Each structure stands twice: as C-alpha cells, then as structure tokens.
Amino acid sequence: MKTTIRLTLFFLISFLLSCNSEDEKVLKLTGKVIGAETDTIVLIKINQDTRFDSLIKIPVNNGSFTYNQKLKEPEAVHLAFAELVKRGAFRPMPVFLENQEINLTIYPEEEFDRNIVEGGELNTEYKNFKKDFETKFNSQIVPVQDSLRLLFKSNNYYSEKAKELYEELRNSKNQDEKIPVYKKIEDLANKDHHLSPEAKKLENRLKPILANQQQFQQSYIEENPSLVSYYFFLRNLIYDKENIDLKLAKRNYQILSKANEPSLQRIIF
C-alpha cells in the first residue's frame, strides 16, 4: 500500500513539474556584439517614441548579452545601440520576440546587413520573406541606387536652383530665416524642378520598381496575415505616412484584424 502511494505521488509530482515546465516557456535572448563599441543595446517597440518612452535596455558585457522575459504575446521590436539612439540617429534592426530561445550576432551599425538572428518561427518567416524580396528586386534596384549615390557624392543630384536654395538654407542664421527657404524648396519640388536631368531619369526608373516592391509586400500581407505582416503594415503607417493609400491601409487593417486574436492586435495598436 505504501509503495503504491509513493508511486502515485511520484507520478503526480512528475506530471505537475512537466506542466509547469510547459507553462513557463520564456524568451531567452542571448547574443554577442562583434567589432562595435557599445555597453548597452535597446529593444524598441515599433510604436514607441525613443525620446520619451521607456525602452528595454540590455547591458553588454565583454561583447555578450542576455535577456530573459516571459512574454504574454509575441512582439516585433527594433534593436539598436543605446549610444546611437541617444544621439537620435540610428539604423534599426527588426527582431521578432517569442517565448523561445533566440540568439543574435550583431555587427557595427554600418554592417547590420551581416547581423544573424537564429531561433523563433517569426524570425524565420521574416528571413524567408527578406530573401525572396532581395532575390526578386536587388538586381533591378541596386544599380539605380548606386548611380543616385554617385550623383549625390559629385553634387550633381539637385538642380542648380535647388543647390542655391540649399546653400541659402545652410547660411541661414535662425529658424525664422529658414522657414521661407523651406517653402521655396517645397514649391520647387512640387513643380518637379528640384532634380538635375540625370537624377530625374534615375528617379523615374526607380518609381516602377518601388511600385512593384509595394505590390509584392501587399500580396504577402494578404496571403500571410501574421505578426510579420503586422510589422510591415505598422512600419509603413509610421515611416511612410506621406505616401499611404488610406483605402488600402483600411483594407489591410481589416485583413490583419480578422486573421488574428484581439490579444495579438493589442501588441501594436
């Protein structure tokens, strides 16, 4: 009888421990920083204002960092070096956080394309999308962008009139003097007189490629209404609001809302 009771207790405790282990899945974020001088990285939620909101700060010790947290829901964040965030100019790195083990290898900001993210189903989904996107478009867009950069470097991107206005802007002593110059630059751009002939040709070559990129992303959102698609949707609303198609934005909101639980919607809205 005693043996039976002991065995019953043993199996009951083992069952409870296994349930606890399953319930207590947490995000285990580990990583290393290679070739960059930093003592802190930050995780920024997509709708946070880095000037005022409280950000997640992770210390970097001897090039390594660790962050453990139990998440209520998966989250899309931007990773950046704290020093650059403080300056107000930084290049964000997308990371999708889940209650799984995720390992990062981070290089200096100018080499962020080399960064490696291992772990998490959403990170794999984003990586696959990015690979397909680059395979389809890089051969088209990179040569045009390289030519535009050369025009910038040689000071041949803007028209002569635009150059004069930008020089006037640099020489303005205060904001009151700058405001009318900004207005002249805006008027020049509205009349499509702000670019050099060479730059205008390149920008016209770029427009259909960018339109195709937008359509590629739109098709992905419609076919894969996941948190990755939520990230694309919200990023466009925040960083490209001047070019937002409101009708399309409403349609995407309906698609994404319908496909996801309310708890998932609260992550970014």
**Average pLDDT score over residue span 11-26:** 52
The predicted pLDDT at position 58 comes to: 97
Whether residue 19 is predicted with pLDDT greater than 90 in this model: the reply is: no
Q: With 80 as the cut, is the pLDDT of residue 22 above it?
A: no
Report the DSSP beta bridge partners of residue 230.
none
Q: Is the pLDDT of residue 263 over 70?
A: no
Q: What is the mean pLDDT of the chain?
A: 88
Nearest to 118 by CA among 42, 21, 177, 31: 31
**Surface-to-core class of residue 267, CB atoms within 10 Å of its CB (0-12 exposed, 13-18 middle, 19+ buried):** buried
In tens, the pLDDT along 217-236 reads 999 999 999 999 999 999 88
pLDDT given at position 261:
62
Predicted TM-score of the model (pTM): 0.80
With a CB cutoff of 8 Å and minimum separation 6, the contacts of 250 are: none
**pLDDT tens, residue by residue, 160-179:** 999 999 999 999 989 999 99
What is the pLDDT averaged over residues 250-260?
88
Length of the chain equals 269
73-105 pLDDT, tens digit each: 899 999 999 999 999 889 999 999 999 999 999
Collect all residues with Cβ–Cβ distance below 8 Å to 116 and sequence separation of at least 6: 104, 105
The whole-number pLDDT of residue 262 equals 53
Q: Report residue 245's pLDDT band, with 50, 70 and 90 as the boundaries.
A: confident
How much is the average pLDDT of 37-61? 93
Residue 16, pLDDT above cutoff 70: no
pLDDT greater than 60 at residue 17:
no
Instruction: Tell me what the mean pLDDT of segment 117-125 comes to.
Output: 96
Please give the domain boundaries of the chain with CATH numbers for all domains.
25-119 (2.60.40.1120), 128-157+195-265 (no CATH)
Give pLDDT, residue 238. Answer: 85
Contact 122, 96 (CB under 8 A): yes
Residue 129 has pLDDT above 50, yes or no: yes
pLDDT confidence band for 59 (50 / 70 / 90): very high
